[in-house]
Amino acid sequence: MNGHYKKLLFIAIGVFSLAAAAAAQNRTTFSDATVEFTFEVPDDKWKVIGKSPVNLVYTTANDGDLEIRKLTLAANRPLGELMKAEEVKLQFVRGFVAGKDENFSGALRGSVYNYEFLSSGRGKAGRFYYLRDGDTVYVLRFTAYADKLRSLRTQTDMMARTFQIKN
């Protein structure tokens, strides 16, 4: 490797290190005495607007909305049953188009359900994380304008990945 490429490599490492440090500084932990879970909030643009159920928005609800629900499903029942029941309800939303399901793991394991729909003539999307803890399933329901939700994907994944039950 010649000197020019080494120099570029060191510059790139420095830029990525600074970006990671800056991103880490904006992180806060969501924790509230009324709920049994915590998770990392990656950006101070996420604001709590409700606690029953827990609801956060990213600047505005159209730019990003997170609602967290707690459901019960016997541990021996597949998450797919719960996801299918949710999809049946969503089919009545204007412009509904189902997306693909994905396996997901973080502090809790589960699945992700994606879909798109129309709201006021504009394309929106939903990304629901179903995270299981025994007979309890926590559903992190993210919705936003479709382009905005795609740009927030790293943040939504991080919030779901760090979602955990308090000790």
In a domain, 89, yes or no: yes
* Domain that includes residue 57, residue range: 29-165
Residue 89: CATH number of its domain: 3.40.1000.10
In a domain, 114, yes or no: yes
Q: How far is residue 3's CA from residue 87's CA, in Å, rounded to a whole number?
A: 56
In a domain, 7, yes or no: no
In a domain, 9, yes or no: no
In a domain, 2, yes or no: no
In a domain, 3, yes or no: no
In a domain, 21, yes or no: no
Number of domains in the chain: 1
In a domain, 146, yes or no: yes
Q: In what order do the strands lie in the sheet with 136-145?
A: 46-51, 54-58, 60-72, 136-145, 122-133, 109-119, 97-105
Digits of tens for pLDDT over the chain (167 positions)?
566 656 655 555 544 444 444 444 578 999 999 999 999 999 999 999 998 899 999 999 999 999 999 999 999 999 999 999 999 999 999 999 999 999 999 999 999 999 999 999 999 999 999 999 999 999 999 999 999 999 999 999 999 999 999 98
